[in-house]
A and B are shown apart, each in its own frame.
Chain A
Amino acid sequence: MTVKGERPHALLDVPLHYCPGCTHGIVHRLVAEAIDELGVEGKTVGVASVGCSVFTYNYFGCDMVQAPHGRAPAVATGIKRARPENVVFTYQGDGDLAAIGMGETVHAAARGENIVAIFINNAIYGMTGGQMAPTTLPGQVTQTTPYGRDVKTAGNPIRVCEMLSSLDGVALAQRVTVDCVKNVKAAKRAIKKAFEYQMAGKGYCIVEVVSTCPTNWGMAPKDAIQWLRDNMLPYYPLGVYKDIGEGEQ
């Protein structure tokens, strides 16, 4: 018997609490693979945020700190400034990063804080049961936009990568998704690159993963993937919004 794939070492052997079809699990694995391949688990500190991904501190094998809602970039800043030799990443959802924590996000990015943000954009609040997120699409029905998001009253969605890419402190801003093998591989490359950039001291890196939330979208996992392709990706186009490459910020 040959072993085709194994659990990455940086991902602990514990059951994840995520719903069936949720893409958090894939992204967790990609982050853990990147940590493994770079051989940095021993010096990595992850920062868990508030939302569905709050329990990431139980899933990653590296040291973890759990931050207040939205404050992960500030907590990560404190860790990185105290321990520049550590590799520090945050794992944040759209409510955490782009609503309550937008201030901390923008300023960490503007400072060129040498951290990686893994940003899960599934256009909805998962943990609290499906309320409007800052990235909820126009017209999208959520628990708190029961007639569809009316941009005249509920405002417009925020395209985070596009916005952050204008900041000088940002080294990498890339939007990926994990709807198929090809895109999963691309996502993995982006995440690994973000970690490599941090190790090279290039500055703030954000990898936005356009994700699904079958439970709160009210769809079967397969339908959710299709809905993501039909609705999310046109509004949130995949791509590299900023990459300083060999340069320095």
Chain B
Amino acid sequence: MAERVLMKGNEAIAEAAIAAGCRHFFGYPITPQTEVAAYMSKRMPKIGGVYLQGESEVASINMVLGAGAAGARVMTSTSSPGISLMSEGISYIAGSDVPCLIINVQRGGPGLGGIQPSQADYCQATKATGHGDFHMLVFAPSTVQEMVDLVAGAFDLGDKYRMPAMVLSDGMLGQMMEPVALPEPKEVDNDSKPWAACGHQNKREHNVINSLYINPQELEDLVRERYKKYEKIKETEQRAEEYLADDADIIIVAFGASSRVSRSAVDKARKEGIKVGLIRPITLWPFPEKAIWKHAGHAKAFLSVEMNMGQMVDDIRLACRCTRPVEFYGRTGGIIPTPKEVYDEIVRLNGGVQR
């Protein structure tokens, strides 16, 4: 394994993208993700890549659409309000079957909100990023190392399924440093996409990258095809980490930053003899419903711990098919819950500590 270095999440994810063969970055500054762009602006010119600061998030995501349509491995990064601005472009990207990577280093909302860490874009990322019927692959790392590890896979799966992928990070993961081992750089063949609009060289019919279908039947057929693909992805790409879940009476479901806090709380509660475990979704779309359902038999209750007002609760309810109560504990507005708060919630659900 490569030597471990201390890196900020925002910088590590940028370097990981470069290692994954990304040579095209388009973005616009916004706290708390700006280090991604700054890092790219430093590195890309030295490796023959493209860094371009767009005049807005709106322009940046459309530059991503253009480069992606031309077959390049391309990415952008922003923070919550920026995703709102990009949502138009993301819808077009999904409707045009163009792969790309989008990083969201979440901050508090709605509106200008705040700049401290948040997970309040869960629903936006997993359900309604833009208009129309579509999904993105959504990955939720919980450590700087995992941010690095998920990037190449996110690019590859995006290419495989021809769809946008998002890494849903937050201000905490983006700003913090942890030891990280960077992957070996890999070469990516930008000419490997036969569908790309990059000039037909008079050797094939013209390629059209498009999301407009005036004939409703044609559009319905295409969307249905896409949803078949989504079903396949739901079947094969769900990922979650289970921690002390096998004998647990109470199972916390938490992703990203809040999963780290939850894990500390689980450890503390276990020391008190409380049978509590953790399921940490690594993919938020597809949601790891199999992992939830697997434990719905023995768990007495689920507890969703989030840095928002409970946006994931309904997904857990659906995944356990409403057979178990799904409780919620969260902080929002940019506040990270403490392990003590989560522990207290575990104790409350457990009906106190029985010794």
Contact = CB atoms under 8 A, between A and B. Distances in A.
B207 interface: yes
Contact of A45 (B62, B199, B203): B199
Interface string A54-73: 10011011111111100101
B62 A104 contact: yes
Interface stretch (B49-57, B153-161, B249-257): B49-57
A77 interface: yes
A61 B24 CA distance: 27
Contacts of A94: none
Contact of A68 (B52, B56, B62, B199): B62
B307 interface: no
B199 to A, nearest CB: 4
A67 B24 CA distance: 19
Interface residues of A, number: 39
Given A63-B206, A75-B65, A81 B52 contact: yes
Q: Which of B74, B209, B212 has the most CB of A within 10 A?
A: B209
Interface stretch (B33-41, B88-96, B225-233): B88-96
A71 B209 CA distance: 14
Contacts of B24: 78, 81-82
Which residue, A71, A73, A76, A87, has most C-beta atoms of chain B within 10 A?
A71
Interface in A123-167: none
A198 interface: no
A86 interface: yes
Interface residues of B, number: 42
Nearest to B202: A42
Nearest to A48: B210
Contact of B206 (A64, A78, A85): A64
Contacts of B196: 63
Interface string A208-242: 00000000000000000000000000000000000
A206 interface: no
Interface in B45-68: 50, 52, 54-56, 58-60, 62-68
B197 A79 contact: yes
B198 interface: yes
Contacts of A43: 199, 201
Contacts of A76: 66
A47 interface: yes
B343 interface: no
Residue among A57, A63, A71, A80 facing the most chain B CB atoms (10 A cut-off): A63
Contact of A79 (B52, B67, B206): B67
Nearest to B197: A63
Contact of B54 (A54, A65, A74): A74
Given A42-B201, A79-B69, A103-B56, A57 B63 contact: no
B201 A62 contact: no
Nearest to A78: B66
Contact of A64 (B50, B67, B190, B197): B197
A44 B207 CA distance: 11
B59 A71 contact: yes
A83 interface: yes
Contact of A62 (B70, B71, B96, B199): B199
Given A64-B207, A65-B65, A86-B198, 15 more contacts: A57-B210, A63-B198, A64-B197, A65-B197, A66-B96, A71-B62, A74-B54, A74-B59, A74-B60, A74-B65, A75-B69, A78-B24, A78-B70, A81-B67, A86-B70
24 contacts: A45-B198, A57-B208, A57-B210, A58-B208, A60-B206, A61-B206, A62-B200, A64-B206, A64-B208, A64-B210, A65-B69, A66-B211, A67-B65, A68-B89, A74-B59, A78-B65, A78-B68, A79-B197, A81-B63, A82-B71, A82-B72, A82-B198, A83-B71, A86-B198
Nearest 6 pairs between A and B by C-beta? A78-B66, A74-B62, A78-B63, A43-B199, A78-B67, A63-B197
